Structure 1
Amino acid sequence: MLLVQNIRLSRILRNTWKVDLIMIASCTGAYLIREYLIAHHFEIPVIIPSLLGTAIAFFIGFNNNQAYDRWWEGRKIWGSLVNDSRSFARSLISYPSGSDEISRRMICRHIAFLYALKASLRGATDEGLSKYLTDEDILEINSQSNMHNALLNIQARDLQKLSQNNQIDGFRFMDLNQMLVRFTDSMGMSERIKNTVFPTTYTYLTKVFIWLFVVSFTLVISQSAGVYSIFLGWLIGFVFVSTQINGMSLVDPFRNNSSGVPLNQITRAIEINLLEMLQESDIPEPVRAINDEYIL
């Protein structure tokens, strides 16, 4: 997630340089075609790039709105996980009477659940979860395809043990179980965003329309601007392309890049909070911003 208000031009150019080269080549080709093939035969109507520009504005507006909705929903889901995790740990510390061994194990397992969910959303393997699990837990979750869901199943069994041992009453059992249900909901909503592909027709047609617009605009403007139409065509196309790429960077909010939801920071913050609530001495450091510009 970006932390600064101003984005460096170099970062924008790193994201768009390939498209920039294609646009420059297209503008150059359009200028040469107009200059040496069609200049003395007919003129390109000005209304063509005008209509294409209007269509592009609608497509980019739709794409960016939908992309931001996906990003914001992902951020809200993990914001809820932060609050629910703190409440879950607080209840496990305060509710049970007698030995706190099961409660401590459940809180540590919850940290592992968050790391497993984060690794799944980012398509990575997170080694940080193993230190919070017993050998039996690791053996069980490794036999299942959905590790984070398997961890919730183990949590439910331990919660049942607390009830059977009379360490919590029925009302507190229902309260803790409801929190497990909320974790399942957050997990499912995150997976839904991750597994739902953004309609490729919108992104594809937007790219095609931008290319057609750049070519037609260069053909029209070259009638009065001459060779400078190559630069002007690229400049106008750069505005559309950079706007479209900016929106598409939010389509997958859990991607491990500067535009994604900062899952590393969020999971580490929850980990620190829960370990402090357990009065542990080995507390990890918070995730720091990279170059004071963004955080992952």
Structure 2
Amino acid sequence: MLIAQHIKLSRILINTWQVDLIMIVSCTITYFAREFLITHNLDIPAIIPSVLGTAIAFFIGFNNNQAYDRWWEARKIWGMLVNDSRSWARSLINYVDEHEDSKPLIKKMICRHIAFLYTLKGALRNYDDNIYSKYLTEEELHEIQQHSNMHNAILNIQSRDLQLLSKKGYIDGFRFMELNELLVNFSNQMGMSERIKNTIFPTTYTYLTKVFIWLFVVSITLVISSYVEYWSIFIGWLLGFVFVSTQINGMGLINPFENNSAAIPLNQITRTIEINLLEMLGESEIPEPVKPINDEYVL
């Protein structure tokens, strides 16, 4: 997630340089075609780029709105995960009756939740950092590795241990329901995250937007080349750059769980929850918070 108030022009150009080259080549070809092939045979009306520019503005506006909605929904889901994770640890620590058997089980269930968060993060980013393994026993690791959805398997283990706490009388029925509701919340938040990841944004919108931008660049170059001559190459590219950079900026939010500067900072969020839960357990070995990269963004 970007945290800098000002974005460097170099960062924008890194994301757009390939399209910029294509636009410059297109504008150059269009200019020479106008000068040597169609200058005396065809007069391009100025209304064409005007209409195309309006259509592009609508397409880009729609795409960017939908992209931000996906990004913001993902951020709200993980915000709820932060709150419910703290409630999970606090409830286990304070609601379960103190007993020699209950204390290690409470710690195991809280640490197992940290493993749940890391496995969920890994699934959403298609990257297994294996941090979760230090919070699970060998038996639990073996069990969840038999499942294609490891984070769901961890919730299943949590449910078994919650039932064990109830059978041994360490929690009453009301507290059991409260803790089980938190497990249901984790399952819902997991499902909502998976829905966003697995739902592909309609490719027709992005494809048509790119086509319209290319047509606009060509048509505006044709129209103004008779007035500013070779400067039409630069002006055509500049106007196209405005549309392209705006569109690419919006499309960067389409997949909010990817491991890039525009995505949700899952590393930071999971580390924050990990720190909070370990502090609540009174652990001495607490990991460092995730730090911003170049003071520009955090992953």
Task: State the distance in 1 between where 2:43 and 2:207 align.
Answer: 29
Query: Does the alignment pair 1:162 with 2:145?
Result: no
Number of corresponding residues? 296
Corresponding position of 2:51: 51
Task: State the distance in 2 between where 1:223 and 1:50 align.
Answer: 17
Task: State the distance in 2 between where 1:138 and 1:42 align.
Answer: 71
1:265 to 263, 268, 276: 268
Q: SS at the partner of 2:229?
A: helix
Query: Does the alignment pair 1:209 with 2:199?
Result: no
Task: State the distance in 2 between where 1:102 and 1:45 align.
Answer: 76
Corresponding position of 1:80: 80
Equivalent AA in structure 2 for residue 177 of structure 1: N
Q: SS at the partner of 2:230?
A: helix
Task: State the distance in 2 between where 1:171 and 1:35 align.
Answer: 82
Task: State the distance in 2 between where 1:193 and 1:42 align.
Answer: 49
Equivalent AA in structure 2 for residue 279 of structure 1: G
Corresponding position of 2:132: 129
Query: Does the alignment pair 1:192 with 2:207?
Result: no
Q: SS at the partner of 2:169?
A: coil
Residue 126 of structure 1, CA deviation: 2.0
Task: State the distance in 2 between where 1:87 and 1:290 align.
Answer: 30
Residue 263 of structure 1, CA deviation: 0.3
Corresponding position of 2:232: 229
Q: SS at the partner of 1:100?
A: helix
2:280 to 277, 281, 284: 277
Corresponding position of 1:180: 183
Corresponding position of 2:2: 2
Corresponding position of 1:144: 147
Equivalent AA in structure 1 for residue 31 of structure 2: Y
Residue 101 of structure 1, CA deviation: 1.4
Task: State the distance in 2 between where 1:223 and 1:73 align.
Answer: 48
TM-score with structure 1 setting the length: 0.99
Task: State the distance in 2 between where 1:226 and 1:273 align.
Answer: 63
Corresponding position of 1:95: 95
Moved more, 177-186 or 98-107: 98-107
Task: State the distance in 2 between where 1:41 and 1:289 align.
Answer: 58
Residue 42 of structure 1, CA deviation: 2.0
Task: State the distance in 2 between where 1:293 and 1:142 align.
Answer: 37
Task: State the distance in 1 between where 2:226 and 2:184 align.
Answer: 65
Equivalent AA in structure 2 for residue 184 of structure 1: S
Task: State the distance in 1 between where 2:58 and 2:208 align.
Answer: 11
Deviations 1:208-246 (A, max 9, x none): 000000000000010111000000000000000000000
**Equivalent runs, 1:52-71 vs 2, <5 Å:** 52-71=52-71
Task: State the distance in 2 between where 1:42 and 1:81 align.
Answer: 62
TM-score with structure 2 setting the length: 0.98
Query: Does the alignment pair 1:113 with 2:116?
Result: yes
Task: State the distance in 2 between where 1:126 and 1:102 align.
Answer: 26
Task: State the distance in 2 between where 1:194 and 1:252 align.
Answer: 7
Task: State the distance in 2 between where 1:42 and 1:276 align.
Answer: 74
Residue 185 of structure 1, CA deviation: 0.5
Task: State the distance in 2 between where 1:186 and 1:28 align.
Answer: 51
Deviations 1:164-217 (A, max 9, x none): 000000000000000000000100000000000000000000000000000000
Q: SS at the partner of 2:127?
A: coil
Residue 96 of structure 1, CA deviation: 1.0
Query: Does the alignment pair 1:243 with 2:246?
Result: yes
Equivalent AA in structure 1 for residue 273 of structure 2: I
Gaps of 5+ in 1: none
Corresponding position of 1:29: 29
